Structure 1
Amino acid sequence: MADNTAGRAPVGLVAVAIGLALVATSIFALDWTGARFSDGGVRYFELPSRVLSSNAQQTVDNPSGFAIAYFNAVGVLLFVLIAALALAATWPGARRPLLRTTAILGTLAALAALAVSWAALGGESQILGGPVVALAGYLAVLFGAMVGPHR
């Protein structure tokens, strides 16, 4: 069967790349919470020690163990896994329906993990803060994985 997708823009790949860039920006560059801190915002990797640990000065009431794990390592590991799956599933010429399905399910799991962890922070963030940008990024990845390599 001939490939009739030659010359088509890889919309899925572009959406995945934009989404992954947004998630990476949220993890490495943006504040995740700041409304209750007088000394400014708190970045992703500072959350376990400054907000979620039992000996932090300003803590969240009863943070879940999952939220602590998410901000320690799980969130970044999910991001790396989703990046590998979604890029491989949407790479031009890829005809891997199982890989696309796995990327979609993984992205849905990452969205659920983000929602649970964000709720542990009280659901607050700055406008265009880390959780909001990560949410937009994962939604773009989900769209790209659903569209696939050629649409």
Structure 2
Amino acid sequence: MPAAKPFKIPESVLVVIHTPDLQVLLLERADQPGFWQSVTGSKDTPDEEPAVTAWREVQEETGIDAHAAGHMLRDWQLANVYEIYPQWRHRYAPGVTRNIEHVFGLQLPSALTPTLAPREHLSWVWLPWPEAADRCFSPSNAEAISQLPRFSPATT
């Protein structure tokens, strides 16, 4: 009998990938076509630092190295607490209904073509930040993108 898959840790990251002119990269979820989002992902272990989770998730979902020359990963020092969507609660331990999401920004020098993880995402698009915020299915993701002008190194 195969080992049971461990439950997801209810602590995650959201990484708003953008350019200096505030174009935002959105990804379309493979398990929910039509649902667009920024890079997201849960910690692998309880002691994994959120910045490490952010770097890892960006690499896994887009193939982009957040530590490469010219790339600027910044912790926005924001944390959202939200109700986990019912269709995804089976991934968490019984009784877990809320998640803590740490918000990061990743500024790239220009829009890059991501290499998508095919089991996670179907397609990608770069959009001006207001359009990107409108396209997100997640309210916390839309709110983070709406905060981009405040947190972007190009505008601070």
Question: TM over 0.5: same fold?
Answer: no
Greater per-residue helix proportion: 1
TM-score w.r.t. length of structure 2:
0.23
Greater per-residue strand proportion: 2
Which one has the largest radius of gyration? 1
TM-score w.r.t. length of structure 1:
0.24
